[in-house]
Amino acid sequence: MARAPLTSTPNDVNTDAGGVLWSLIQGEQLEFPITINFVNDASVGYEYEAVVLEGLNTSAGTKPVLPKSLGEWIKLDVRTRTNRGVWQPTTAYDTDQIVSYNGLYYSLSGGISRTSSTPPSGDSLWVTTTPNIVYVRFPRTLGGMWATQPTAVTNTYGFFELRVTETGVNYPRTWKPVRGMVEILFSPTELVP
């Protein structure tokens, strides 16, 4: 788990001890997968919360070390996939659903109510995966109301954190496995009506 300062931003979310840097261009709306190593099945028994807090940005465009007092904040959507259990040839599956087959997990890459007698190991629409992946969604409006906006030569930053909390237990444990910064880069298309 990340225990380094939030401003330490190497790229590898799963193996580095530091924070992550999400680099987005103004107006981009993207979804990123995050593997939660201590979770067996992300769709059962956990609650996820991801937030971005506006940093104390300056016109110099350097990474801030403090959040902006009374700054903007946003809760990001965190999506999990549905684990349908052991694959069955007569069951209908939808895109992004997970099944297990012969000791491996597979995710359907396309289709709605798709049935096939071809097992996932021989079907190109099923791709190998793990059931402990969540998807964090960054909306296109992120950073749009921040006091300092990016320019062609400077970026703005916010602080990011993902929290994972157990559900259905008397003393729920809470982890914060991914922390870091969100970098917002200038976009000419955001200025053109």
pLDDT tens digits, 20-38? 999 999 999 999 999 999 9
User: What is the rounded distance in angstroms from the CA atom of residue 102 to the CA atom of residue 106?
Assistant: 10
Give domain 20-79+132-190's CATH number out of 3.30.70, 2.60.40, 1.20.120, 2.60.120: 2.60.40
| pLDDT tens figures, 33-90 | 999 999 999 999 999 999 999 999 999 989 999 999 999 999 999 999 999 999 999 9
| Closest CA relative to residue 49, chosen from 157, 136, 132, 130 | 136
Going by C-alpha positions, the residue among 83, 26, 76, 81 that lies closest to residue 53 is: 76
* Average pLDDT for the chain: 92
Q: How far apart are CA 48 and CA 167, in angstroms?
A: 10
Q: Which residues, including other chains, have CB under 8 Å from residue 5's CB and lie 6 or more apart?
A: 19
Q: In what order do the strands lie in the sheet with 126-129?
A: 83-86, 98-101, 104-108, 126-129
Domain ranges of the chain: 20-79+132-190, 83-129
CA distance 176 to 182: 16
Phi, psi of 23 (to 5 degrees): -110, 115
Q: In this predicted model, what pLDDT tens digit does every residue of 134-173 receive, in sequence order?
A: 999 999 999 999 999 999 999 999 999 999 999 999 999 9
The topology under which CATH files domain 83-129 is: Seminal Fluid Protein  PDC-109 (Domain B) (2.10.10)
